[in-house]
Amino acid sequence: MKHSISLLILSCVALMGCQDIGTSDKQPLKKIQAVDFSHVKITDNFWAPRLKSHATTTLAVCIDQIENQTGRMRNFENAAKGEGEHSGIFFDDSDVYKALEGIAYALKNNPNPELEKKADEWIDKFAAAQQPDGYINTFYTLTGLEKRWHNMDKHEMYCAGHMIEAAVAYYQATGKRKLLDVSIRMANHMMDTFGPGKRNWVPGHEEIELALVKLYGATKDERYLGFANWLLEERGHGYGSKGDEGTWNPVYYQDDAPVREMTDIAGHAVRAMYLYCGMADVAALKNDTGYIDALDRLWDDVVLRNMYVTGGIGSSHHNEGFTEDYDLPNHDAYCETCASVGMVYWNWRMNQFSGDSKYVDVLERSMYNGALAGVSLVGDRFFYVNPLASDGDHHRKAWYGTACCPSQVSRFLPSIGNYIYGVSTDAVWVNLYIGNTAEFDAGKNTVKLEQETNYPWDGTVRLTVQSSFNKDLRLRIPGWCKTYTLTVNGEKQTLNLEQGYAVLNRAWKVGDQITLSLDMPVEVVAADPHVKEDIGKRAIQRGPLVYCIEAADNKTDFNMIRLSPDTKFQTDFVSDLNGIVEIKAFSDNREVAFIPYYSWDNREAGEMKVWLDYIEN
């Protein structure tokens, strides 16, 4: 099979319509509205089984850990009684809220009375643990309420943010507002305590900012949007503090400059992702072009200088984040699963501002590689850290003391349908190729589409129109694809791409069929030459998937495996690892088997690597 050499460098294209600094009353910045996953039923052979294992296995693991294996739910029970010890870490409430959000998302498309009953039981315990003034946080309730709101790194607003997100999700899924009302009381408590003319506050772990925007969306109460904006503007003015419990590191907490002046990503990776999401959400509603200018600069820095080929970010174990540009070690890579999910969240928002497919290219890279590797094929074990090379001693676990990643996976997987379609004034946008049936409103039109594909194993996608509508269809041509064909009702189309989208302009009728064929060769990928770790090495990619080698398939002379310009490749679909396209390389008179990176460490323990030595002829 043919293969190509490509360099993993993405072009820098400025966002359109964002030349002014500050707030503008011009056209809304967000040109595309996402289609909520509740309007999308995933049916393909790749994602549908994962959603099933999420509902039957992943959520069950989270529930068992929260209720039986750890003290997370007991903390709420003790807080309601006002007695007993707090077990675990001060931010453990957030894991429970994220798992509840995952339950809510599962219920949206797959009603389950038993699962809903479990969620209601949890919510009753949350409500009972809330203080009369609206405050809710089991750590301080059980260790001393007099110490609350003293150390900005104690995740009080972080936990509140995840509660708010869960509350909005559950309200949308079931119509039940008990937790929403709990969240409103907590938000009001925070606004009574902090704000203009009151106390300053810089949340040590961002999350509350984007959550408040969701609360505003659910309640239409402008105060929550204003408070989110105020919290963002608190950064970079010297307000951050741990009280008397330690030294505040402004860089680590993204507090070294006002957010609209930021140019380089720094500090903790997940915190940065949540910050950028909050900035994007506020910018969209406040029409703040200054925030978008900053996000555009930060995106270039992240993607061009600080992102792994897997879409993972945050190379350092020391700060769970960043050191210097192009510092991307393989064995020692951190690449927290939560950060890869954060990359999906952020790039999804950036695409909605610009209609530029480069953001979905990064979203897809992070989703299929960095994020998906975070959960085992069975759905019962999780990676916190995602290295690009292993000596065979790095494995998924059922849970962690800091369990943000398992609970993050539990809420991310059931919501992947969010990222498939978008709607703008004149177009329906097809961003991801995942088999599904969808029905949603697009202005005065009701759009019904069926998407059939064996992606990511095959590049053929068939879209069948099942309702008449008069909007352009914009189909993303992935950045990894060099050659493609597009037909409408069997007639080949000649198109120019607009920001990476093929634009089809016509009045659509029931039964119209669009067939997109994306050429999916094996690619031999070179890193940016500034990445010292990967000089003289190459990685293998096919379609959106990054591949690796494991000792399980290559038992002899593992560290002697290398590639060259003469290496030949062959692809075959095999049943191993729940069904994958395996790549076989023929190099140095030996056969080498490559598997998708997301699927490694699902068999016996053994070495793994993504980047291989490359020998020039």
Residues annotated as catalytic (active site), given as ranges: 320, 404
- Tell me if 578 sits within 8 A of 378, measured CB to CB: no
| CA distance readout (Å), 493 to 116, 465, 482, 487 | 48, 17, 16, 5
Rounded distance, CA 526 to CA 132, Å?
59
Tell me which residue has tokens 């997940």: 270
Listed in sequence order, the DSSP H helices in 307-421 are 337-354, 357-365, 404-412
Residue 11: count of CB within 10 angstroms of its CB: 8
> What sign does the CA torsion over 367, 595, 578, 406 have?
negative
Tokens, residue 565: 């310009």
Best CA proximity match to 55, nearest among 309, 415, 346:
415
Q: Are 388 and 600 in contact (CB under 8 A)?
A: no
Contact 143, 199 (CB under 8 A): no
What the block records as the tokens of 292 is 């978008």
Pairing of strands 427-430, 472-476: parallel
Q: Which of 474, 488, 547 is nearest to 517 (CA)?
A: 488
Q: Whole-angstrom Cα distance, residue 55 to residue 39? A: 18
Measure the CA–CA gap between 508 and 420, rounded to whole angstroms.
19
